[in-house]
Amino acid sequence: MMPVIYSMSVSMDGFIAGPDGDFGWSAPEAEVFRFHVEQTRRLAGYLCGRNLYREMLVWETAEQTMSGEAELEFARLWRPIPKVVFSRTLDTVEGTARLATDDLATEVARLRDRPGDGVVSIGGASLAADAIAEDLIDEYRQFVYPVVLGGGTPYFPPLAESHDLRLVESRKLGSRVVYLRYRRLR
């Protein structure tokens, strides 16, 4: 069974977007982007909400709009990954994406129980909050940026009970970002 991860950029005070929804502060510098490319090699499935799905559509046509070697490599890795999109308003999706037909726990199980190696990733604050509430996340991966936003969209939702975690990896990426990887203790 593949582990389920939640990986996002986060401010020092725990937000993935500011009060106005802005996340431009988290644009990755070259070393951080290369790290994301390497992490993408391990993705065996991806679950996201409508907004993040729309943000990631740029990678479906990267060859027409981008020229950087790392960007094009990311696009080549990203496109074939099976994606499940949770949306009440979208009628269709593109590429290897499909609209969710079941509840979150069932869709997670469907991806994580497939044969093979890798990880299943959940992206987007709302969907991740639901997954955290249902205790579906095995690892939390944070790219911590040295900015204090003072409010906005939190990385973690309010929790009914604490979740004990163990730090399994940390590293400094570039001049500004610290990568932290925590595993859920069960």
Res. 118 pLDDT band, cuts 50 70 90: very high
What is the dihedral angle through the alpha carbons of 23, 29, 31, 32, rounded to the nearest 10 degrees? 0
Res. 174 pLDDT band, cuts 50 70 90: confident
**159: which residues sit within 8 A by CB, 6+ positions away?**
132, 133
Whole-structure pTM over 0.85, yes or no?
A: yes
Question: Per-residue pLDDT tens for 27-66?
Answer: 888 999 999 999 999 999 999 999 999 999 999 999 999 9
Number of domains in the chain: 1
Report pLDDT for 25.
92
Three-state SS for 147-178 is: CCCCCCEECCCCCCCCCCEEEEEEEEECCCEE
Question: Per-residue pLDDT tens for 101-111?
Answer: 999 999 999 99
Nearest 5°: phi and psi at 84?
-120, 125
pLDDT surpassing 90 at residue 87: yes
> What's the CATH code of the domain at 125?
3.40.430.10
Report pLDDT for 77.
97
- Domain that residue 180 falls in: 4-184
pLDDT surpassing 90 at residue 150: yes
Res. 175 pLDDT band, cuts 50 70 90: confident
Question: Per-residue pLDDT tens for 11-23?
Answer: 999 999 999 988 8
Tokens of 164: 């004990």
Report pLDDT for 186.
84
